[in-house]
Each structure stands twice: as structure tokens, then as C-alpha cells.
Structure 1
Amino acid sequence: MSEVEPGMVAFLILAPMLLAMVVQCYIAHKYTERFESLLTNCTFVTGNKKTFEHAGLVGKVMRTGLISMVLTMPKMFVRRRLIDLDEVRRFPPSMRRLLVSLLVIHILLATALVIFNYALPVNVH
């Protein structure tokens, strides 16, 4: 059986990871304010906006990622009274799918990278 080249496996994980990050940056740059305007009664979202609004693109990526978390696990935030569940339910389904999909892609690729790192045999010479 032939051995798998570690560099190729790393490329097959890192290339989509980079592409997903570029897409995340574009969406964050273009739509962060739109997403936040749909969640004005959510103290978690408004608090993050105040915290990260002066951080440029990195701040927008953080804010968009945190909104993705709110849309993915709203019950966790409702229990702590950080979001308005009605606003989250009214969030447009197409935007919700986009943000949740990006979050899932990031998590899957990061997990694949960690698994690959631990599954890689160590050659001690």
C-alpha cells in the first residue's frame, strides 16, 4: 500500500480553509451591518458591535462569526437573556443558512486539521 503524502493532505485541508476565510471576510465586509440591523434587541449582538466596531475587518469577521453562533445555538443565549428569540426567528432563512454553513465549514476544516495533525505518524531518525 502506498503512503499518503502529508503535504498533499495538508493542502487539501488548508486550501478550502483559506477559501472559506476569504468568503467569510467578504461577507463580513459587505453585510455585517445588515445582519446587526436585524438583531437590534439582542444585547449580545449590540455589545459585540460596541466592542469590535473599531477593529476594522477583523472586528467585522468577529461580529459576523458571533452572529453565526447566535443563529446556530439560540437556546444557549436565550437562557442567559442575551438575545431576543423573536428577532432570531425572524432572521431571513437565506442569510441564516449562509452564516450557519460558514460556521460549520470552519469547524469541520479546523477539526480535520487537528485530526490530521494527531494522525500523522512521527518519524524519529
Structure 2
Amino acid sequence: MSQEQLSLISLILFVPFILTTVWIFLMVHIYTDKAERLLPNSRLVKDNKKLFSHMGLLGKATSNGVISYILLMPKLIAKKGLVDVTEVHNFPRKLKLILILSWGSNSFFFFALIALNVYRRHVV
């Protein structure tokens, strides 16, 4: 693959990565407090809120990401006693999809860009 093709692929991946990053910061601002209120008995959410509340938007983003992972793997986290599974099951489906798909798509573009960079450095 030529450098021009790799540059084009990088650009094609970078634009949606930036757009999803902007969306994540908007989504964090809008939905984090609502998501935290929907998991009132979660020790992990309480501890994260205490730990990251003074960090502003970046702290909210971290807390929002943790909530997304809680929603993605509730049984694993419940085994550790960090979340109440019934709260996760009662979490609104639409909000769950917004959180998981936002972080998932951003992670996909991030790791695709890393893989492309590794390919460019070591193969080409």
C-alpha cells in the first residue's frame, strides 16, 4: 500500500474519530448526571463521582465511560459487588444504547488509527 493510500485511509478514519470525540463531550455534558441518578446504589458510581467531580468535564467523561462499561458488563462488575444488577437491568434502553454506542464507536476509530499507524511504521 502506498503512503498516499494510507494517508487517505487515515483521513477517512480521523474525521469520524474527531466527530465522535466532539459528540462524546456533548453527550457527557448532557447525560452523565442522569445516568448517575439511575444507578444510585452503585458503589463504583458513588466512588467515581467523589473522585472525579472536581475535575470538571474530563472528570465527567471518565465517570461516563465507567458507567458505559458498567452497562456493557454488568454481571462481571456485580460479582465484585460494585453495582446492583437490578438497577442496570432497569436502566433505560435508549440511554444505554447512546452511552455504549458512543464510546464503542469512538474506541473503534481510535484503535483503527493506532493499527493503521503500526502498520505504516512496521510493514510499509
User: Contact 1:69–1:103 at 8 Å: present in 2 too?
Assistant: no
User: Residues 55 and 122 from structure 1, CA distance in 2 versus in 1: closer, same or farther, beyond 3 angstroms?
Assistant: same
Aligned partner of 2:50: which letter? Answer: K
| Identical residues among aligned pairs (%) | 32
TM-score (norm 1): 0.90
Cα-Cα RMSD: 1.9
TM-score (norm 2): 0.91
User: Contact 2:24–2:103 at 8 Å: present in 1 too?
Assistant: no
Q: Which runs of 4+ in 1 moved over 3 A?
A: 121-124
What is the rounded CA distance, in whole Å, between the counterparts of 1:29 and 1:107 in structure 2?
A: 19
Partner of 2:83: 83
Aligned partner of 2:34: which letter? Answer: R
Counterpart secondary structure, 2:2:
coil
Q: Post-superposition shift, 1:107?
A: 2.1
Judging by fraction of residues, say which structure has more helix: 2
Residue-pair matches, total: 123
Q: Post-superposition shift, 1:3?
A: 3.2
User: Residues 122 and 81 from structure 1, CA distance in 2 versus in 1: closer, same or farther, beyond 3 angstroms?
Assistant: closer
What is the rounded CA distance, in whole Å, between the counterparts of 1:117 and 1:18 in structure 2?
A: 17
What is the rounded CA distance, in whole Å, between the counterparts of 2:122 and 2:67 in structure 1?
A: 39
1:71 equivalent to 2:96? Answer: no
Partner of 2:110: 110
